Structure 1
């Protein structure tokens, strides 16, 4: 993702270029509640700000961890933690919730890692078995 300082509102095509999310994906994230519905210019064109860029960077990071869209939606349900810190709101409950979501996700990833390691051992065993058969000929 490119780093850019936004001093104006951006269109969906501009935000798409900056974040590498397609306009279709951005609209889908709005539809399912992962991304808040942006304000609209002249009642029709979406306008995005730097806040949405930060939010989309967070979404991208969670997607790179292979987190499900449902978990990503839950992760951001209470909004931006930084906004809560800056406004003096109590940010600990949503932060604790995010920690629990990440801990649960990490447990799932650890289990997937074990499963993959088991599959790798099995594949190596099969490969060795077949190579041994070839050497007997």
Structure 2
């Protein structure tokens, strides 16, 4: 998908499925940088923000917290650093650590869910056994 040079908040909302309210909230939280403004009023977004919002959407889909997402993108765009010749390894290593921590949390949640499933099945079997003894 190719986007025009600048997009309004309603256009970027339509492309990314984030509501204008959410976009403004992400700006306020520091997850999304404040975009340029046309005549000091209307926000104008570029393709860079579209890419950034797609990254945010992916992290939200894997269940990452907004605080972790903010930390994840704190150093800016890795691709920009690579293209400019800037050292991208420290922020990339930081992102790897954040993802590894998140994966560890997901693994723990999976274990917790598996334990709850076992307990529920045991309780269900207990009740089914009681029904069979009438």
Structure 1 residue 122 corresponds to structure 2 residue 95: no
TM-score when normalising by structure 2 = 0.98
1:70 to 67, 72, 84: 67
Tell me by how many angstroms 1:7 deviates.
Answer: 2.6
Aligned partner of 1:49 in structure 2 is 46
Aligned partner of 1:33 in structure 2 is 30
Q: How far apart in 2 are the matches of 1:48 and 1:127?
A: 54
Structure 1 residue 18 corresponds to structure 2 residue 38: no
What whole-Å deviation, never above 9, does each CA across 1:90-121 have from its counterpart, x for those lacking one? 00000000000001111100000000000000
TM-score when normalising by structure 1 = 0.96
Q: How far apart in 2 are the matches of 1:135 and 1:24?
A: 56
How many matched pairs?
134
What whole-Å deviation, never above 9, does each CA across 1:23-72 have from its counterpart, x for those lacking one? 11000000000000000011111000100000001001111110010000
Q: How far apart in 1 are the matches of 2:2 and 2:115?
A: 46
Structure 1 residue 90 corresponds to structure 2 residue 90: no
Q: How far apart in 2 are the matches of 1:78 and 1:12?
A: 24
Where 1:101 maps in the other structure, the secondary structure is helix
Structure 1 residue 99 corresponds to structure 2 residue 96: yes
Where 1:122 maps in the other structure, the secondary structure is helix
Q: Which runs of 5+ in 1 are unaligned?
A: none
